[in-house]
Chain A
Amino acid sequence: MTDMSALQSRMDTNASGEDFSASVMSIEIGPAHPAMHGIVRLTTQLDGELIVGMEPEIGYLHRGFEKESENSKWIQVIPYTDRLNYVSPLLCNIGYSMAVEKLYGIEAPRRAEFTRVIMGEISRITDHLTCLGAAAMEVGAFTFFLWFIKAREYLWELVEEMTGARLTTNWTRFGGNSMDLPEGFLSDLADRISKLEEIMEECDKLLTRNKIFIDRVKDVGGISKEDALSFGFTGPMLRACGIPYDVRRADSYSVYDELDFEIPVGSTGDCFDRFLVRMEEIRQSASIIKQAADKMPEGPFMTDERMLQYPDKKDVYGNIEGLIDHFKLVMEGHQPPAGEIYMPTEGGNGEIGFYLVSDGSGDPVRVRMRPPCFNYVEAMPLMTVGHYVADIVPIFGSINMIGGELDR
């Protein structure tokens, strides 16, 4: 999709009739370039420093998520979802588990949903912190990056406390979570969130009104509302264009309708708007976490539905129903009723949608994940042509490409 129109118009206005086409250089950026967040190749046509064409090439991290999932049992897919978006693995866990629950037609208990909201918002914050920190570092704000990574570390310790792992969480189950809140978790949470808010305030002073930073990101990589919709943008990228579409509000899944939060929107959709939207979303997520912690109900964290959760060991060894349930769950797997569903959830990057098809047996027929950043990378030529080569770095940083979910 080489867009040569920018160059063509310059050639047409050139009265001397000289042929400048030879001055167009083709430069490969990536696949393994330090300023690329992951492995992606951008074949860029340059006229001097001006970008006149670009073709992104993806697929370097393709591990066959869908094929592997379709050759596994339903429950065995959960660890694969950790590896989709590896800066917010819990959101993928939650998205997949909610999709299977929709296939079953059940809901997790309220305590499980509130815990999911807390853990999901923690993941959203770590996702935004990583994106903003890395993007700012690439335009020179190294302190900002270190501060944000410090904040991310506080949150990853919470994730570790809850799930036992920082990144490979494998936390949710169908109809609940694998673990309840650990002892003292809510007080740790309050402590960490206040530390995060301090860091946010410091970093806000450091960068949001910084002239050098603003010059690099303002009016760079903008996209119109119409193009953003047509390209299927969702999440912070679409909200930066001024469209308040947030799956948490629009589809109101889980218990988000009981929590009070604002949807920040931008106006021009440039890199600076994306930065501001993500900064505000971190604050909103922190507020959601506090509300959810206050409202945390008592009760079970896992459904008591038979054939959904593994029975207690004392039942497996103590009575025949427990033993048979355990045997059938291990050997045949979970068996959601036949049907197809699409379950959208708001990921860190945009709409994560799982399209699942079941034939009623234990083997999934189709496990499809809609990767939010697929559309952003597709729109890279539109966002970069007409800008200079140095602008690729902030633009690519602002779209928050995650190789794991892009290539699956």
Chain B
Amino acid sequence: MSEEIKANNMNADQEYGELTALLKKEFPKAVLGFHAHRADETVVIKRDSLESVCRFLRDDRRCTFEIMTDLTAVDGLEMDMTPRFEVVYHFKSLTHARRVRLKVPLDEDDCKLASIHHLWKAADWYERECFDMFGIIFEGHPNLKRILMYEEFEGHPLRKDYPIDKQQPLMELKEIEERHTYGRHP
């Protein structure tokens, strides 16, 4: 890799945008960290203040993030991240033509945080998917059930300790084999 790419990486983490400054001013206790790697403004906030920060991002005239673009989580098990999980929110403001990423660190033993389905309707299904894939509980969600996997599925497939080759047959294999022999000519 060339020197130029390395130099780009070095100074990217140092700067942050005006939105980070605004959030730090409005919620001094909630902001745990920030960075602007590759100009993606990122603010790490405390779990308890998620709802108030999100409400501020949506309603304040200086923010007006109309669209909740994405919600997902990162399992930092292999990176030895503490705490293990990070819930990642992406928002887009059309008025101010900017994006922001919010991250909420979550402990493995206490994977719970407030639902924001009442602020953006998109959060309803995003939170269901995040629960399905990572087992993160969104408190106050009206219908927190699996969305991509089936109800009987055990475990949460995008967790790093869920093996990729694990099989969970819906019907016992024995039962299927018995059915086969039933119709088979001796």
Q: Decide if A157 is an interface residue (CB 8 Å cutoff).
A: no
Give the residues from 360 to 408 in chain A that come closer than 8 angstroms, CB to CB, to chain B: 365-366, 368, 370, 374-375, 378-379, 407-408
Is A366 a contact partner of B74 (Cβ separation < 8 A)?
Answer: yes
Give the residues from 55 to 108 in chain B that come closer than 8 angstroms, CB to CB, to chain A: 66-70, 72, 74-76, 78-79, 88, 90, 92, 94, 97, 99, 101
Is B70 a contact partner of A368 (Cβ separation < 8 A)?
Answer: yes
Is A353 a contact partner of B38 (Cβ separation < 8 A)?
Answer: no
- Which residues of A have CB within 8 Å of B12? 105, 339
Is B94 a contact partner of A340 (Cβ separation < 8 A)?
Answer: no
- Which residues of B have CB within 8 Å of A407? 148
Q: Decide if B137 is an interface residue (CB 8 Å cutoff).
A: no
Return B85 CB to nearest CB of chain A, in Å. 11
Give the residues from 325 to 355 in chain A that come closer than 8 angstroms, CB to CB, to chain B: 337, 339-342, 344, 351, 353, 355
Is B147 a contact partner of A59 (Cβ separation < 8 A)?
Answer: yes
- Which residues of A have CB within 8 Å of B67? 229, 232-234
Return B100 CB to nearest CB of chain A, in Å. 10
Known: A231-B122, A232-B120, A306-B1. A64 touches B157 (CB 8 A): yes
Is A353 a contact partner of B90 (Cβ separation < 8 A)?
Answer: yes
- Which residues of B have CB within 8 Å of A408? 148
Q: Closest residue of chain A to B160, judged by CB?
A: A70
Is B90 a contact partner of A58 (Cβ separation < 8 A)?
Answer: no
Q: How would residues 291 to 310 of chain A score, 1 for a CB under 8 Å from any chain B CB and 0 otherwise?
A: 00000000000000111000
Interface size class of A (residues with CB under 8 A): 35 or more
Q: Decide if B139 is an interface residue (CB 8 Å cutoff).
A: no
**Residues of B within 8 A of A (CB-CB), count:** 47
Is A67 a contact partner of B90 (Cβ separation < 8 A)?
Answer: no
Is A59 a contact partner of B40 (Cβ separation < 8 A)?
Answer: no
Q: How would residues 23 to 65 of chain A score, 1 for a CB under 8 Å from any chain B CB and 0 otherwise?
A: 0000000000000000000000000000000000011001010
Question: Which residues of chain A have a CB within 8 Å of any CB of chain B?
Answer: 1, 58-59, 62, 64, 66-68, 70-71, 102-106, 227, 229-234, 243, 245, 250, 305-307, 337, 339-342, 344, 351, 353, 355, 357, 359, 365-366, 368, 370, 374-375, 378-379, 407-408
Q: Would you list 6 pairs from A and B whose C-beta atoms are within 8 A, ordered by A residue? A: A103-B38, A305-B2, A353-B69, A365-B76, A366-B75, A375-B122
